[in-house]
A and B are shown apart, each in its own frame.
Chain A
Amino acid sequence: MSRRWLKLLKKFSLLALVIALVVALAVPSLTAAYTSLSQTSLTLSDNNASDTASYDFKFTLGDASSSLGSIEFQFCSNSALITDPCDAPAGFSATSATLATQAGATGFTISPLSTANNIILSRVPASPASANLEYLFNNVTNPSAAGSDYVRVQTFPTSDASGTNTNQGGLAFAILSQVQVQAQVPPYITFCAAVTISGFNCANAQGNYVDFGELSSRTTAFATQQLLVQTNAKSGYNITVNGQTMVSGNNAIQPLNSGGSSSPGTSQFGLNLVNNQSPAVGATPAGPGVGQASSGYGQPNIFRFNSGEVVASAAQASDSRLFTVSYIVNIPPGQAPGIYVATMTYVATGNF
């Protein structure tokens, strides 16, 4: 009995020993030999696919006592783990990357060992001045596809990223579409002509008939009307006057084609868009908008009329602008009697 138990116990003991040894020999050490980076981040200036961007890396060394000769930034589309194979992100390229700034451990340049998806910074090995490091790269081409990508960061005591690393870490970043915001401002122009327009509002326009009364060769007949214009035309507006001088049958009062001052006793018809003293008629342009009377129609006491001419204009979009048109009529002593009429049409054109 005892011998059987003894043999059994010995078999068990041997089995236990073998198992222990197998465990000890077959199971490799799984503990990591590297020191981890912490506070690792990557800030992109632009995360739109295929754009050229700046990449700002920040991280803290877990082992800041070892000599630091090189830092490797490997970009992968599949994994941030150094033990995994690395698939370069499609479209990504650091070939033209430049090292814009460096902090914490300086004196690095981009090694010629760098590749399209692997930036290696190199310097003469030395202890890092700080555990908190930062490196800014410009001219990096983003991956061409939206989604998550990864960067593996390692530090080495050698200057060519060879051998065992002293620190390692990984991070993820995302590429996605930009937000495209659009808004449309429709073109508009508000214009009205009337005898009076109050409140800079065409809804208040009143009257379309100007009566000079009985003409005399001894005094100047004058009257006014108003024009109101508002537009978001980027290059402003033009207002033209269209029509003919005052006529009665075959008898006409001469238009001031070349402009001139009012002279009673002569045949004159003209207008301007400013305030006058001789005669005392008219007003300067008013309102929050912009725009002035055009050349020929903007000089006080000088009156002019040519059909189709621009009488007022602005070079940019304008809020409400009120123009007062001043008309003068003079007749000679021998002016044929009759009812003299003129129809004026004003056209405002926005320059969009």
Chain B
Amino acid sequence: MTRINSKVVKLTSFVTSVLFALGVSLPALLMAVPASAAQLTSGATSIEMSSSTPSQTGVSYKVTFTPQTSEASGVVYVDFCSNSPLDGDTCNDAYTGVPNVSSVAGPATTTAVTAGDSQVHTIKLTGQTLTSGTPFTATFTGIVNPTTAGSFYARIYTGASGYTYTPAATNGGTPTSTGYADYGGVAMSTASVVSITARVMPTLTFCVSSGTGANGATNPITSNCGGTVAPNITIGHGSQDVLSSSQVDTYSVFSQLSTNATAGAVIRADINNSGTNTCGGLLLTGAAACSAGNYIPPVNNGNAAGGTITAGTAAFGLSVANGTGGTGTVSAFGCYTSAAYCMDTTANTGVTSTFGSEVASSTGPVNNVNNQYTFGATVSNTTPAGIYTANMSLIATGTF
């Protein structure tokens, strides 16, 4: 007997631990039964609550038991008490410790039984077929949980169709259960809500790399910004990598963006961080500012519409491709999406403004999305000889 009890206790503890981890109420596991009366099958009786939150309304209680006595049109009583599940004990029925079943609904015919006081804590179900050894289940809805966290009990009685169970008339009174066929007691518990908080940190990973291969057309960036090459590029052709008026030369860089910003991110290009490159073009080395004869101008003179770069007409521009790879979309924006080139120098919104020109964007989170940025340039016959440079920042801004 002791051994059996130990096993039962251990099982009880284990199940309790599991169910608390899951945040559900404790099912009924074990009950005491009078040795002199018929008993519901031990280990098969439970009341499962859809919520264990104190004061929760609209809760469903699923009552399951296996009767020992068969009844063709049996009646089932479920009486909730806060102090004891035992038949014959007094019953404390304040709503702090028992559920309010005044609005209970369930299988036909379910009613709430009122006693002498205002507390309604007893459910009656009639017309049920109860078969000995066969599990019986009834789900009752519309129940309001006790208002206080803690354990409470249910006394389950079955009987013939004429059986009447009378709940306690007062708080702490003794119910009248004489004449039942089967009886069983169940323990339940309400508990404070377990709040689970998981923190997700805002993230934004953004990198830029020179392309590799001919004209930098190959993207070397691997996942999570691996494999990047310093974005120092030279536009030109031939063994000396020079510009000429006979052709348009190009070179590409690539970016990769990952962010969990819920409203996505914007990528901007800024060419005037130093305050020197106010024209948005390629500046002759040593030039303190853009002036005639010392820069290769932005395509279409920096017009927001962009344009075509034609060999022999000095121009410098940028074209952005839509994102590839990864998950999510980073789309080229505005004049940079066209097949031609752009280097918008519009005041306040262009590449020479404080925060640069928007060149690409996403509308939601993205992961490892790559974009290609192709720089194009050519010179005229009168473009002064020399080395021209421009430093461009690609800046990603996430909106979290």
* Residues of A near any B CB (own CB < 8 A): 1-2, 4-6, 8-9, 11-13, 15-17, 19-21, 23-24, 27, 29-32, 39-48, 51, 53-54, 56, 79-81, 83, 146, 148, 150, 169-174, 176-188, 230, 232-234, 289, 316-320, 352
B388-A177 in contact (CB<8A): no
Pick from A11, A44, A181, A230 the residue with the most CB of B within 10 Å.
A181
Interface 9-residue window, one of B110-118, B201-209, B364-372: B201-209
Closest CB in chain B relative to A63 CB, distance in Å: 17
B293-A316 in contact (CB<8A): yes
B290 part of interface (Cβ distance < 8 Å): no
Given contacts A148-B204, A181-B251, 13 further A-B contacts (CB under 8 A): A2-B32, A4-B5, A15-B13, A15-B16, A43-B395, A45-B354, A148-B203, A172-B202, A176-B207, A181-B390, A185-B244, A234-B293, A289-B382
B9-A11 in contact (CB<8A): yes
A178-B85 in contact (CB<8A): no
Pick from A41, A185, A186, A318 the residue with the most CB of B within 10 Å.
A185
A179 to B234, CA, bound (A): 11
B399-A39 in contact (CB<8A): yes
Closest CB in chain A relative to B364 CB, distance in Å: 13
Known pairs A40-B399, A172-B259; A23 contacts B243 (CB<8 A): no
A178 to B394, CA, bound (A): 7
* Residues of B near any A CB (own CB < 8 A): 1, 5, 8-9, 12-13, 16, 20, 26, 29-35, 85-86, 149-151, 153, 185, 187, 189-192, 194-197, 199, 201-208, 230-236, 240-244, 249, 251, 253, 259, 261, 263, 266, 268, 270, 273, 282, 284, 293-294, 296, 316, 354-356, 373, 375, 377, 379-400
A242 to B54, CA, bound (A): 110
Known pairs A2-B32, A45-B273; A178 contacts B391 (CB<8 A): yes
Closest CB in chain B relative to A136 CB, distance in Å: 9
A186-B203 in contact (CB<8A): no
B397-A42 in contact (CB<8A): yes
- Residues of A contacting B20 in the complex (Cβ-Cβ under 8 angstroms): 19, 23
- Residues of A contacting B296 in the complex (Cβ-Cβ under 8 angstroms): 183
B388-A184 in contact (CB<8A): yes
A182 to B389, CA, bound (A): 4
Closest CB in chain A relative to B365 CB, distance in Å: 12
B12-A15 in contact (CB<8A): yes
A324 to B382, CA, bound (A): 22
A42 to B398, CA, bound (A): 7
- Residues of B contacting A150 in the complex (Cβ-Cβ under 8 angstroms): 201-202
B191-A24 in contact (CB<8A): yes
Closest CB in chain B relative to A45 CB, distance in Å: 5
When C-beta atoms are compared, the residue in chain B nearest to A37 turns out to be: B400
Closest CB in chain A relative to B220 CB, distance in Å: 15
A178-B231 in contact (CB<8A): yes
A183-B32 in contact (CB<8A): no
A20 to B266, CA, bound (A): 50
Known pairs A6-B86, A13-B187; A171 contacts B233 (CB<8 A): no
